[in-house]
Amino acid sequence: MSGPTVIASPRDERFWADARAELEGLPHGGGLNIAHEAVDRHRADADATAIVAIDRQGRRTTLTYAELRRATNRFANLLESLGARASDTMFVLLPRRPELHVCVLGAMKARLVVSPLFPAFGPEPIRQRMALGHGRVLVTTASLYERRVAPIRASLTHLERVLVIREHDEELPAGTIDLSAALSRSSDRYEIAATRPSDPALLHFTSGTTGTPKGALHVHEAVVAHHSTATTVFGLQSGDVFWCTADPGWVTGMSYGVLAPLTVGATLVVDEADLDADRWYGILEREHVNVLYTAPTALRMLRKAGGDVASSHDLGALRTIASVGEPLDPATLAWATSTFRVPVLDTWWQTETGGIMIANRAGVEVRPGSMGTPLPGIEVAVLDSDDRGVPRQHDGHPVAAAVGETGQLALRAGWPSMFRAYLGEPERYARCFADGWYLTGDLARLDADGYVWFVGRCDDVIKSAGHLIGPNEVESVLLQHADVAEAGVIGVPDPVAGEIVKAFVVLRAGAPGGERTTRSILAHARRQLGAAIAPREIVITTTIPKTKSGKILRRLLRARELGLPEGDLSTLEPEV
């Protein structure tokens, strides 16, 4: 990179080699496997608790590292006995329960590629992702199967085996295998075959602006970053109790709700229920949680419940709170810091980065509103960019922006948990890189001390309660409704969820209109997309603003909605 280079953290060449050396590796030079580092290598502390699980009714179960090892061995053996092979893709559609951890880690032992699905997804997002990922195996519950998968099963041409958990002694759905019966017939001894650090391990879907979800592929070497960030960001050690509240259907819940804390021998808290302030405080207190990793939305909801709820609990074990996924606004940061009296640390990363890249850390000054500084081993630059975040070329190369200037946030390619492909889309993957820099799609600023300040996304993706939603994904489902002629979807600010999804629809001629139609479209969207992705509000309108090439002008929709100046329309022309 030439020109006025401003780099937050020069790369430490030795850092990742040293971080790799902290891990054990497979016996006899057999390579590196995430499940070995997360489970099998804890032989000396095999009786320590790996997972504390709390179900919806509040019942508590635990699993030691030795039990986790045996259970994952059984699952790996089961997969092999069913004919599953290394690099086959296994989808997981499960509630937050330890069975999920067992299936994910067992599949990694058998070297399958694991792809988690958010359990609130409706049939359409499931179908899309399983079709793109060529899912061969699916693990789910009998009731999720009946409601979400059975209606689309015929279209899932790659799907060979469906393993189901029967929660209430329901009948086994046709064409599925009873997981617990099959596991009981499998051996609890298993030896992980040689695994290359570059072998694929995880497939995470993330929404792009173009509608179809992108499948970001991660490899076993990612465990080097998981382990390293567990110690550098959270200061985690064996025996610590760590609670990541994110669902493993998203990358945060997988990297930090399953993998990273286990690699250091910590105890994971896994709560099946959704956010409820009383319940959360009860768990923090009873389980002696040392580190809580959550989202700003969740902290805002705790704030709504009032500080006195917090003070009625003994949270003496709590050492750190960290957040991710959306800006941690200074007001929430100040509230959480004074309420919990522990460091509250914003962290930044993405599905594509696989692990935390930029963070505040205990012992380092927190600047409210900033995401912190790059982690050791991570080199960051803010590139001189146009107002849509496209880096400007100087003699054919991108250059860094001046201190304080907004530009696209970029990371020097090559950290261990970097995604290695967008499934089936090599050109899209290649477009994410320029001159050895990975372009994040986020806009940011650097200050003179190397703190990174988040500005926004370069594109239109909606961020609601920590979920990234592609507008087209929603629009295409709205357009399936018989009364809808056109649809445009934007995110509008919301004090709790950050943004909520709002849809504008133009009705077909002759459609009845009115309250009943709106309700019917909303119900359709909820059925197809699930409540987390469906619009909260639908407005019936007469036109949707579009570019000449027919692309929806979401920025204009947003500007009108928020009463902002509509700006120069020529800058709103999308790339052709």
Site residues, ligand PRX (CB under 6 A)? 206, 251-252, 324-327, 346-351, 371, 440, 442, 454, 457, 468
Residue nearest to ligand PRX (CB): 351
Q: What is the DSSP string of 441-493?
A: EEEEEE-TT--EEEEEESS--EEETTEEE-HHHHHHHHTTSTTEEEEEEEEEE
CB of 207 to ligand PRX, least distance (A): 8
Q: Are 74 and 167 in contact (CB under 8 A)?
A: no
CB of 251 to ligand PRX, least distance (A): 5
How far is it, in rounded angstroms, from Cα 300 to Cα 465? 10
Q: Residue 278: what residue type? A: D
Pick 89 or 347: Cβ nearer ligand PRX: 347
Task: Calculate the CA 183 to chain-centre distance.
Answer: 29
Pick 314 or 449: Cβ nearer ligand PRX: 449
Pick 289 or 357: Cβ nearer ligand PRX: 357
CB of 547 to ligand PRX, least distance (A): 24
CB of 132 to ligand PRX, least distance (A): 17
Listing from the earlier edge strand, what are the strands of the sheet with 213-219?
Answer: 177-178, 161-165, 135-141, 89-93, 113-116, 200-207, 213-219, 421-422
CB of 16 to ligand PRX, least distance (A): 20
Pick 193 or 432: Cβ nearer ligand PRX: 432
CB of 306 to ligand PRX, least distance (A): 25
What are the φ/ψ torsions at residue 454 (nearest 5 degrees)?
-75, 135
Pick 251 or 532: Cβ nearer ligand PRX: 251
CB atoms within 10 A of CB 411: 22
How far is it, in rounded angstroms, from Cα 466 to Cα 118? 13
CB atoms within 10 A of CB 433: 12
How far is it, in rounded angstroms, from Cα 387 to Cα 246? 32
Pick 245 or 440: Cβ nearer ligand PRX: 440
How far is it, in rounded angstroms, from Cα 375 to Cα 228? 10
Q: What angle do CA 552, 251, 203 make, to 5 degrees?
A: 85
What token pair was written down for 29? 């030079």
How far is it, in rounded angstroms, from Cα 197 to Cα 332? 40
CB of 237 to ligand PRX, least distance (A): 23
CB of 7 to ligand PRX, least distance (A): 20
Pick 78 or 126: Cβ nearer ligand PRX: 126
CB of 475 to ligand PRX, least distance (A): 20
Pick 106 or 354: Cβ nearer ligand PRX: 354
Pick 36 or 129: Cβ nearer ligand PRX: 129
DSSP symbol at 176: -
